[in-house]
Amino acid sequence: MMDGTDHTGPRGAQNESTLEAGLPTIDPAGEEAAAAFARLAVELHDADGLDETVEAVVQFALQALSCSYAGVTLYSHGARPEVAAVTDSVVGDVYNLQIDAGAGPLMEALRNQNTVLIRDTGTDDRWPDWAEKVAGLGVRSVLDVPLAVGSGGRSVGVLGLYSPDLDAFDADDEAIAHILARHASVAVATARQEETMARAVDARKLVGQAMGILMERYGLDEDRAFAILKRYSQDTNTKLRDVAQQLVDTRRLPRPNQ
């Protein structure tokens, strides 16, 4: 399929990757590709959270593919797609034009898990308003590759590659992009799961603190203290974690009319 993207300004990245700078476009069947992806796997494993994970992905894309800009957009069911990493602010503009309109190659890749290639945004007619704006920014070639995990292909996001050159992406670029997308999909899903687990642990600790306050103040046991927090959560239509946070911060429970 075909797609469009955006490019202007210097190629510089926001954060410096530990991968070798200036790595030339690599042969997907060559030994250098295996070595490069081995280094990437180590970097993704060592990344501290989701932000570092997606940053490593876009930096690798700049170094290993025929693109001038790269970005990652993440998908959460029922929520607005999140522009998680870009190598230049212009990529964010390209993404947000599509997200606001609900249409474009990014949205096609997100919704239908299709790889979208645009060889020339100046002539592609599938999303004419978007393509005209993107061509005006200097982006002529676009390659959007879906990120997905699991046997059912659960959507995680999209890796976007952009160039000011016409027909910039060849079969080798697309092959490398798909390998990168597979690595990125697993790494992003893992980072998200770890962050979710960390938030859950933090929430349990906070509820435990709030229970301790009630137990000490009113001489309650654990079951009774938890029941009170849960009742206040239901009566005030407030998340249990937020009720606990307010009690810890103010030493008072929320009023039902709050």
pLDDT at residue 12, rounded to an integer: 36
Q: What is the pTM of this model?
A: 0.73
74 CB-near residues (< 8 Å, 6+ apart): 54, 81, 82, 84, 156, 157, 188
Q: Is residue 16 part of a domain?
A: no
Residues 116 and 207 in one domain: no
Residues 155 and 179 in one domain: yes
Residues 185 and 230 in one domain: no
pLDDT at residue 180, rounded to an integer: 96
Residues 128 and 43 in one domain: yes
Residues 226 and 145 in one domain: no
pLDDT at residue 166, rounded to an integer: 95
Higher pLDDT, 255 or 125: 125
Supply the DSSP symbol for 47.
-
Reported as a pLDDT band with limits 50, 70 and 90, residue 114 is very high
pLDDT at residue 136, rounded to an integer: 93
Residues 242 and 167 in one domain: no
Q: Is residue 98 part of a domain?
A: yes
pLDDT at residue 7, rounded to an integer: 33
Residues 67 and 80 in one domain: yes
Higher pLDDT, 76 or 21: 76
pLDDT at residue 217, rounded to an integer: 92
Q: Is residue 93 part of a domain?
A: yes
Q: Tell me the average pLDDT across 141-155.
A: 90
pLDDT at residue 18, rounded to an integer: 33
Q: Tell me the average pLDDT across 158-177.
A: 96
Residues 107 and 221 in one domain: no
Q: Is residue 21 part of a domain?
A: no
Q: Is residue 139 part of a domain?
A: yes
pLDDT tens string 204-227? 999 999 999 999 999 999 999 999
pLDDT at residue 155, rounded to an integer: 92
Strand order in 82-86's β-sheet? 82-86, 69-74, 154-163, 141-149, 116-118
Which of helix, strand or coil describes residue 1? coil
Q: What is the CATH number of the domain that holds 244?
A: 1.10.10.10
Q: Tell me the average pLDDT across 144-159.
A: 91
Name the token pair of 22.
């200036």
pLDDT at residue 150, rounded to an integer: 82
Domain count, the chain: 2
Q: Is residue 25 part of a domain?
A: no
Q: What is the mean pLDDT of the chain?
A: 86
Say if residue 170's pLDDT is above 70: yes
pLDDT at residue 147, rounded to an integer: 97
Residues 158 and 46 in one domain: yes
Say if residue 162's pLDDT is above 70: yes
Residues 70 and 140 in one domain: yes
Say if residue 157's pLDDT is above 60: yes
Structural domain boundaries enclosing 55: 31-195
Give the DSSP per-residue string, 76-141: -TTS--EEEEESSHHHHHHHHHHHHHT-SHHHHHHHH---EEES-TTT--SSHHHHHHHHHHT--E
Q: Tell me the average pLDDT across 55-68.
A: 93
For residue 18, give Cα distances in angstroms to 138, 186, 193, 244: 29, 20, 24, 41
Q: Is residue 242 part of a domain?
A: yes
Q: What is the CATH number of the domain that holds 110?
A: 3.30.450.40
Buried b (16+ CB within 10 A) or exposed e, 126-163: bbeebbebbbebbbbbbbbbbbbbeeeeebbbbbbbbb
Q: Is residue 51 part of a domain?
A: yes
| 8 Å CB contact between 167 and 73 | no
pLDDT at residue 4, rounded to an integer: 38
Name the token pair of 153.
């292909």
Reported as a pLDDT band with limits 50, 70 and 90, residue 27 is low
pLDDT tens string 83-98? 999 999 889 999 999 9
Residues 185 and 205 in one domain: no
Residues 233 and 161 in one domain: no
